[in-house]
Structure 1
Amino acid sequence: MDKELIILDELMQQIIAKKFTYGEKLPSENELADKFRVPRTTIRRVLAKLEERGFIYSQRGVGRFLKEESFQVQLNLNGKTSFTEKMKQSGHPLITRNIGCQKMEYDSQIYQYLHANREDNVYQISRLRYIQEEPIAIHTSYLNETLFPNIAEDGPTIESMFSYYRQLGYKSLTNRDSLLSVTFPTLAEQQLLSCKSMEPLIMIESICLDVETDKVLERTKVLYRSDKFKYKLSER
């Protein structure tokens, strides 16, 4: 096995096993190079990967330090309650910022989910979520203007889609056909979520329906910072 990967794995195991104290300064490049009997350049690449993955941070001229332990939110992935309501029920001080409402270009997959015709206007509404002043998730909703004629005007002020739907008379809502996958952030998503390029994001895609009519209200895509959540997959 590549020596660099062996060193990376050993340091990762030490971090996971809490061999280092959060905020503690790591051994210098020279010390690690001597310990593992490799050139400093090898150690530098290993430490760069640890930093990309969000485990450590560096201070110019001082050294590298283990990041403080991050708070984690338990998130139930059932689709009957909005994210805003879940955070309120769990006591987390959620702040939501609407970061955009715009008409999107034709996308066959999203249009199909929404049962939209090609000539229909579909709007994309994005919200950035914060807990303890840290960005934790990006929620993006896709809505058909045919179903929501005022969405171009209403969209820029919406913070909770479930609340918006209930104002319009949809009282019983649920998410269905959820897909969970892992992805890595784009440059824009890195900036919004304050994360590194190699920090994985949990992506959940689903459709939101009105239970009474089985009408599809939106297609949803949510990007969660994987270091900020623990995921509960069922009610039991």
Structure 2
Amino acid sequence: MDVQELLMKDYLLQKITTGAFAQDGKLPSEYTLVEQFNVTRIKVRNVYTMLEKMGLIYSQKGVGRFVKQQQQALSVVMSGDISFSEKMKQYTTDYKSIVTKFEQVPEHHLIFSKPYVAEGPLYLIERLRFLDGQPAAIHRSYVVEPNMPAVKQVNNRFTSIYQFYQQHGVNHFKSTFSQLSVSFPQEIERQMLGCEILVPLVKVESDNWDAERNVLLEYTEILYRTDRFSFQL
């Protein structure tokens, strides 16, 4: 992206984020931007393509480009011992969790290089979280089977990891760390979350311990769509 394209992108992005263009409102035509910025039409198209990949606009063939309606971001408190499901139910009655993967983790998996995850076997329980009918987060729990043998009983009706642990005698939880990082979705994540290639994801990694026995229950990874969530640390 050259200087002229960056100027156009910044101009349009500022207008979109400040509400100067109404949601579902039509954006300037290619011809208008060609005249305004004295650039070629291909440069205008490059900018619009980038904004579309960022999930901010959409196009209708033969009609034009429009600002995509943005859903209100939900605030997530990163600390505390409340389950993800309970947090989400505070915001919406239309919440759903679907198990998308349940399997024993191969011994060569990179998860074994994570803090405290030195022993196995581990079982991966992956869930796709839906808010208001839209996929919003991927939740992966790498459960330490020797410390929670009941994990092998997990089935497709599984919804909440905290309820699962409580049902099997865990009453007090603790966590020793939380780590945040930002990335862009890979192909499988784009398919699962239904998001564009340049929509950033926040990845939160943490551990979850049985505080009474002082044993690690799981290593957790959650991938959040940043267009659906804001975060309180």
Q: So what's the TM-score if we normalise by structure 1?
A: 0.91
Report the CA distance between 1:163 and its aligned residue. 0.5
Contact 1:97 1:127 in 2 (8 A): yes
Q: How does 1:202-217 map to 2 (within 5 A)?
A: 202-217=202-217
* Structure 2: gaps of 5 or more residues: none
Q: 1:90 to 1:24 in 2, by over 3 A?
A: closer
Q: How does 1:51-200 map to 2 (within 5 A)?
A: 51-106=52-107, 107=109, 109-110=111-112, 113-117=115-119, 120-200=120-200
* Structure 1: gaps of 5 or more residues: none
Partner SS, residue 220 of structure 1: strand
Q: Which moved more, 1:103-112 or 1:21-30?
A: 103-112
Q: Could you tell me how far apart the structure 2 residues matched to 1:188 and 1:115 are?
A: 25
Q: Could you tell me how far apart the structure 2 residues matched to 1:197 and 1:180 are?
A: 20
1:118-164 CA distance string (max 9 Å, x none): xx321111001111101110000001222233423315432211010
Contact 2:94 2:133 in 1 (8 A): no
Between the two proteins, the alignment pairs up a number of residues equal to: 231
Report the CA distance between 1:176 and its aligned residue. 2.9
Report the CA distance between 1:11 and its aligned residue. 0.9
Q: Could you tell me how far apart the structure 2 residues matched to 1:41 and 1:102 are?
A: 47
Q: 1:212 to 1:96 in 2, by over 3 A?
A: same
Q: CA-atom RMSD, angstroms?
A: 1.7
Q: Could you tell me how far apart the structure 1 residues matched to 2:116 and 2:143 are?
A: 7
Contact 2:181 2:202 in 1 (8 A): yes
Partner SS, residue 147 of structure 2: coil
Contact 2:77 2:231 in 1 (8 A): yes
Q: 1:87 to 1:109 in 2, by over 3 A?
A: closer
Q: Could you tell me how far apart the structure 1 residues matched to 2:162 and 2:113 are?
A: 21
Contact 1:205 1:222 in 2 (8 A): yes
Q: Could you tell me how far apart the structure 1 residues matched to 2:139 and 2:45 are?
A: 36
Contact 2:98 2:128 in 1 (8 A): yes
Q: 1:139 to 1:108 in 2, by over 3 A?
A: closer
